[in-house]
Structure 1
Amino acid sequence: AGGGGGGQSYSSPNSRAPPATPQVQWLCDNYEGAEGVSLPRCTLYYHYLLHCQEQKLEPVNAASFGKLIRSVFMGLRTRRLGTGNSKYHYYGLRIKSGSPLLRLMDEQQHMAMRQQPFSQKNVKPVQKSQGITNGTVGGIGQQQGSTLCDISAQVQQYQQFLLPDGILLEHLKAFQTLYREHCEAILDVMVNLQFTLVETLWKSFWRFSQSNDAESLNHNESEKRLPKSCLVVLCKFEPVLRWTRECDNLLYQTLVEILIPDVLRPIPALTQAIRNFAKSLENWLTGAMMNIPEEMVRIKVVCIGSFSQTLRRYTSLNHLAQAARAVLQNSAQINQMLSDLNRVDFNNEQASWVCQCEDRLIQRLEQDFKATLQQQNSLEQWATWLDSVVSQVLKPYEHNPMALPKAAKVFLLNWSFYSMVIRDLTLRSAASFGSFHLIRLLYDEYMYYLIEHRVAQARGETPIAVMAE
């Protein structure tokens, strides 16, 4: 809980407040004390980051911002209300009635109500990792099974490392604490769809400053907790690099599942925003890490590249799914597809050669595909069928995590069943060519998605981590 302060003492700015810097003035212009109300602590910090972005100011971190608020509003208290990242609230503070921030709050709530995928239930992307003791660093906690939102406290293996010169155990702990806070801040802004603030948070964490002004660094709260000189040394330290990679893979996997909880469900309002965000990520990151050792930059770029590619692939898959849904709901198109499909010679030797599949598999796929078409199934029912195809093919390897990835790759290479059908339909200029082409694109992408998740599950890793390899 925060400082005491009784009565109405927190209902107006502190008479002993610091000089009216732009930040202090902004706080006084937009917030006021009031009895019986509260604001989520993270919401205030979002508003502050937006303000800094608009005014081209370098933001302080969340801890420093908290101190600034308390210096402006006397005796402000912190209360725990609810769960998740919004559980801490400033009690006795509200947005002023004339503030433009009120409209921003309304817009955020409206967007959240429309989208509904952003449940923060069990979202803990970076939990405390075990294994730092007595000046040595243990192996990174290995994520187990499908628990995608935690770094397991279980230590995968223990290896001893001597700490680099000038680095104390306290520096290592400070890095872990700061990085966890940083990941939580990224999660918070993403859940609230404030995509552009990710660049601001990266610049803040990696101490990006165009002026390289040592004076400004000295007044930075992060600098007091972990000097940049120590941060730079730690960015070359192998255990820190591995731990950071684990954190990033888990954070990004969590974000993918929050933004696109179901690749088949329509998310039209978000699709373009997510794609634009994905395209910007690598440039934002490399720009923010200009003075950081190459070893850390490499790790971060690989992780962010995997995240960016996943977002782009999943939004493309989502777009294809909506287009295919229209075809699958059209009886005339379905009947035309069946008619054309019945003229394809599945027993042709050339067809088998193009497909590079066993005859038995081709026969089963043909029968299943025609039956599913005749039943005029929904997109979700088609997805279930594709899932069952993957299950049948990988069943012999389900207890052999070493062999399963190889078997999955072979299957993907052989999954040219639809390519063969398309080739035949093209040669005959079939009326349903366009419909088949669309369905084929969707199935290829969705099959890749299913295989990627099966391989990740078998290896006890996130799909993002598998993609990064």
Structure 2
Amino acid sequence: MEQKYHYYGIAVRDSSIYYEVMYSAKSATSTTADPKKELPKQVVSYSPRSKLGTLLPDFPDISQIVLPEGVEETKVVTFLMMYRTHCQRLLDTVIRASFDEVQTFLLHFWQGVPSHLTPILACDVMVKVIGVCDSVLYKAVAGVLMPSVLQALPDSLTQVIRRFGRQLEDWLRSALHGLPQVLTEIKLDLARRFSQVVKRQISLNHLVQASRTVVNSQEMVTQLLADWLSIDLGSILKQTLYTMEEQDTGRENKAITHMCTEFEKLLEDQAPVEAYIEWLDNMVDSCVVKVGKRTSVVTMVKKTTF
């Protein structure tokens, strides 16, 4: 737990357990789920029931929140306890694949907030804390619902998850009717981001499965290798390096050639799709992440110097 955590502005440290890039509109991560039999109400090929009993990570502690004058700490503590119970119930409901019940729980909670607690929902700091709580919840839901992109998703589950992502925003809008606009805006924004993450993960999953079909076919891989070997990589590399400014062309030439050689080796070995993904991860890390860090350091040095 972060000892010094500032919610004003909802700026979350990278090192915090509450930091999750997918809810800052960057990316998403997810965990696996086990196939199960169909459920009645909604046709789902499996439900991640092995996740039953999954507890949400800790929500923000009152000691970490700087409340403005006029907002009673006891009311905030009471609301956060209620909200955590509500979010845990939503997570349990998703784990049971009872997606339709989510709408009911949302409506009952938000329309049933005690009148003496309603005023704090208009407090800017409190609304941002709720946003952090929602990020924690959506991360947990995504971790339960969305398997790794490497694992095949049954079509029935894909359809149900897509529908859940589409309906969530409408359910929230109805449940939040009559409550402060600032609260509605941040909750709807996070719901939209969650929906986008779901769509992106499903698309990636489909792409991976299509790629797996290709790399598992000896005939297709043989043809891919033949096509790859027919490419004039030397000419392409020369033109690429010519367009790069202020670069160590010798080092860049060596790096690109090495990556091309690695890709060729994957084709020759008829490697599984996981090996290609690892190759891509390493390429992004060396060509984007590390380069970006070096650029940031150089920029800081120049600013300091001049």
Candidates 210, 225, 228, aligned match of 1:323: 210
The answer on whether the counterparts of 2:62 and 2:77 sit within 8 Å (CA) in structure 1 is no
Which structure carries more relative contact order (alpha carbon 8 Å, separation 6+)?
A: 2
Structure 1 CA distance for aligned equivalents of residues 254 and 124 of structure 2: 50
For the pair 1:250 / 2:151, whether they are aligned, the reply is no
Decide which structure has greater helix share.
2
Name structure 2 gaps, 5 residues minimum: 1-36, 300-306
Structure 1 CA distance for aligned equivalents of residues 173 and 244 of structure 2: 43
Structure 2 CA distance for aligned equivalents of residues 343 and 130 of structure 1: 61
Shift of 1:118: 4.4
In structure 2, do the counterparts of structure 1 residues 297 and 355 end up closer, same or farther at CA, with 3 Å as the change threshold?
farther
Decide which structure has greater strand share.
1
For the pair 1:342 / 2:222, whether they are aligned, the reply is no
Question: Tell me, what secondary structure is at the counterpart of 1:119?
Answer: helix
In structure 2, do the counterparts of structure 1 residues 402 and 327 end up closer, same or farther at CA, with 3 Å as the change threshold?
same
Question: Tell me, what secondary structure is at the counterpart of 1:235?
Answer: helix
Partner of 1:313: 200
Candidates 175, 178, 191, aligned match of 2:82: 178
Greater shift, 343-352 or 272-281, is seen at 343-352
Structure-to-structure mapping, 1:350-429, within 5 angstroms: 350=239, 358-393=252-287, 396=290
Candidates 109, 124, 147, aligned match of 1:238: 124
Amino acid at match of 2:70: L
Shift of 1:391: 3.7
Structure-to-structure mapping, 1:62-461, within 5 angstroms: 108=39, 115=46, 117-120=48-51, 123-127=54-58, 129-132=60-63, 138-139=64-65, 159-164=66-71, 168-207=72-111, 222=112, 226-227=114-115, 230-231=117-118, 233-268=119-154, 269-348=156-235, 349-350=238-239, 358-393=252-287, 396=290
Structure 2 CA distance for aligned equivalents of residues 352 and 276 of structure 1: 46
Shift of 1:327: 0.6
Identical-residue share of aligned pairs (%)? 26
Structure 2 CA distance for aligned equivalents of residues 278 and 200 of structure 1: 16
With structure 1 as the length reference, what TM-score do the two structures score? 0.48
The answer on whether the counterparts of 1:235 and 1:296 sit within 8 Å (CA) in structure 2 is yes
Amino acid at match of 1:202: L
CA displacement, residues 76-96 of structure 1 (integer Å, 9 cap, x when unaligned): xxxxxxxxxxxxxxxxxxxxx
Shift of 1:230: 3.2
| Higher Cα Rg, which structure | 1
The answer on whether the counterparts of 1:241 and 1:296 sit within 8 Å (CA) in structure 2 is yes
RMSD (Å), alpha carbons = 3.4
In structure 2, do the counterparts of structure 1 residues 239 and 261 end up closer, same or farther at CA, with 3 Å as the change threshold?
same
The answer on whether the counterparts of 1:286 and 1:297 sit within 8 Å (CA) in structure 2 is yes
CA displacement, residues 42-70 of structure 1 (integer Å, 9 cap, x when unaligned): xxxxxxxxxxxxxxxxxxxxxxxxxxxxx
Structure-to-structure mapping, 1:33-44, within 5 angstroms: none
